[in-house]
């Protein structure tokens, strides 16, 4: 999102917000004891391997994504961005995005940037595969009940940052049955601010919470992202609220082989095999 000032412009990455209160609303107390029957390193290896399977499967699913972002003055919205798009496949099996609803934004203090749109498609449904896990420091912090799931909890942060790439920094919850990530809380990094003269681009990445739900009895796909935060710009604070929903997951035919627990998953046809409803 971009802001224009008399002497400089500020670009903001999707403002979603500090949501720890809401993020932990359905959680039990954090038990800091070590896991039993499995080491934390084994859990990391298992969930990152499952994330690789998840990514393979996710690339074969279409879905509908609905996003709404508002700037707030107090509790009153004074600007809004909305977009609904379908992710599907063309007759060549290539993934395509089709925007089905995108009214003219009424934002006045900020505007959407390229990075904002990228967050909607890639940042919020964060994936941490075995190919990427070595880029992060992953620290076991305990065990916690998340709704009806018993989860292992890890804090993660990139070991090094390439300014041209984007990383997730925050906390993840891994269920102790499927060893899959069921919830994430954190932000996209790196961030940049204006220079000492008050000029330049300012990119801020607020915290967001994404919940996943089980699709087709195998994969924990994102179904709901929510945030509510205040971004602290160099000269002004902007309060932002955002809700993103992912629905109508449909698996499409493909020649790509995907596995689950070491076994090949049977390929679906071009019709819907599963529809997911977002977390209320």
Question: What digits encode the pLDDT tens for the residues 144-201?
Answer: 999 899 999 999 999 999 988 888 999 999 999 999 999 999 988 888 788 777 777 7
Query: 137 lies in a domain?
Result: yes
pLDDT, residue 1, reads 55
Confidence of residue 8 (pLDDT cuts 50, 70, 90): very low
Mean pLDDT of the chain: 82
Give residue 201's pLDDT. Answer: 78
Residue 86 domain flag: yes
Residue 141's nearest CA partner among 169, 168, 167, 172 is 172
Using the predicted structure, report yes or no on whether residue 95 has a pLDDT greater than 80: yes
- Higher pLDDT among residues 243 and 228, named by residue: 243
CB atoms within 10 A of CB 256: 11
In this model, does residue 243 exceed pLDDT 60? Answer: yes
Q: Is residue 27 part of a domain?
A: yes
Q: What percent of the chain is modeled with pLDDT above 90?
A: 55
pTM listed for this prediction: 0.79
Whether 279 is in a domain gets the answer no
Provide the pLDDT for residue 276. 46
Q: Is 130 left (phi over 0), alpha (psi -120 to 50) or beta?
A: alpha
| Region of residue 196 (left: phi > 0; alpha: psi -120 to 50; beta: else) | alpha
Residue 143 has pLDDT above 90, yes or no: yes
Report DSSP letters for 78-111, one per residue: EEEEEEEEEEEE-TTS-EEEEEEE-PPP--SS-B
User: The domain containing residue 139 runs over which residues?
Assistant: 2-264
**In the chain, what percentage of residues exceed pLDDT 70?**
80
Q: Do residues 155 and 169 lie in contact, with contact meaning Cβ atoms separated by under 8 Å?
A: no
What confidence tens digit (pLDDT) does each residue in 25-72 have?
468 999 999 999 999 999 999 999 999 999 999 999 999 999 999 999
Q: Which of 5, 51, 3, 67 is nearest to 278 (CA)?
A: 67
Residue pair 70/79 in contact (Cβ under 8 Å)? The answer is: yes
The answer to whether residue 94 sits within a structural domain is yes
Average pLDDT over residues 217-243: 89
Between 15 and 161, residue with greater pLDDT: 161
Tell me: pLDDT of 279 over 60: no
Q: Which is more confidently placed, 13 or 122?
A: 122
Mean pLDDT of 206-218: 90
Closest CA relative to residue 256, chosen from 118, 129, 127, 89: 89
**Structural domain includes residue 278:** no
Q: Is residue 269 part of a domain?
A: no
Q: How confident is the model at residue 163, as a pLDDT? A: 86
Specify the pLDDT at position 264.
61
* Overall domain count for the chain: 1
Flag whether 275 is in a domain.
no
| Exposure string for 185-210, b = 16+ CB within 10 A, e = fewer | bbbbbeeeebeeeeebebbbbbbbbb
DSSP readout, the chain? -EEE-SS-EEE--------HHHHTTTB---B-SPPSSS-HHHHHHHHHHHHHHHHHHHTTEEEEEEEEEEEEETTEEEEEEEEEEEEEE-TTS-EEEEEEE-PPP--SS-B--HHHHHIIIIITT----TTTGGGEEEEEEEEEEETTEEEEEEEEEESS--TTS-EEEEEEEEETTT--EEEEEEEEE--B---TTS-S--B----EEEEEEEETTTEEEEEEEEEEEEEE-SS-EEEEEEEEEEEEEEE---S---EETTEEPPP--SS-----PPP-
Of the segments 86-90, 197-201, 203-207, 236-240, which one has the largest average pLDDT value?
Answer: 86-90
Could you report the per-residue pLDDT of 97-113, keeping only the tens digit for each? 999 999 999 998 887 77
Taking the C-alpha atoms of residue 257 and residue 210, their distance in angstroms, rounded to an integer, is: 27
């Amino acid at each position: 999102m971009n802001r224009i000032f008399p002497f400089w412009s500020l670009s903001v990455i999707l403002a979603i917000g500090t949501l720890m209160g809401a993020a932990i609303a359905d959680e039990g107390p954090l038990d800091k004891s070590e896991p039993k029957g499995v080491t934390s390193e084994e859990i990391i290896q298992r969930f990152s391997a499952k994330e690789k399977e998840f990514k393979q499967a996710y690339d074969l699913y279409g879905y509908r994504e609905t996003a709404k972002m508002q700037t707030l003055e107090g509790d009153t919205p004074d600007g809004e961005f909305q977009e609904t798009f379908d992710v599907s496949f063309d007759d060549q099996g290539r993934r395509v995005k089709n925007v089905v609803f995108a009214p003219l934004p009424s934002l006045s203090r900020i505007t959407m940037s390229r990075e904002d749109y990228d967050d909607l498609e890639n940042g919020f449904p964060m994936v941490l595969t075995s190919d990427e896990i070595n880029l992060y420091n992953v620290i076991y912090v305990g065990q916690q009940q998340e709704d009806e799931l018993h989860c292992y909890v890890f804090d993660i942060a990139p070991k090094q940052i390439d300014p041209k790439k984007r990383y997730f920094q925050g906390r993840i919850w891994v269920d102790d049955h499927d060893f899959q990530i069921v919830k994430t809380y954190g932000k996209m990094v790196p961030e940049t601010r204006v220079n000492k003269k008050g000029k330049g681009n300012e990119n801020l990445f607020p915290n967001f919470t994404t919940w996943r739900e089980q699709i087709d009895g195998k994969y924990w796909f994102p179904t709901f992202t929510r945030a509510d935060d205040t971004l602290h710009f160099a000269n002004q604070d902007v309060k932002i609220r955002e809700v993103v929903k992912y629905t109508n997951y449909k698996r499409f035919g493909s020649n790509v082989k995907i596995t689950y627990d070491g076994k090949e998953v049977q390929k679906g046809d071009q019709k819907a095999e599963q529809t997911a409803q977002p977390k209320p």
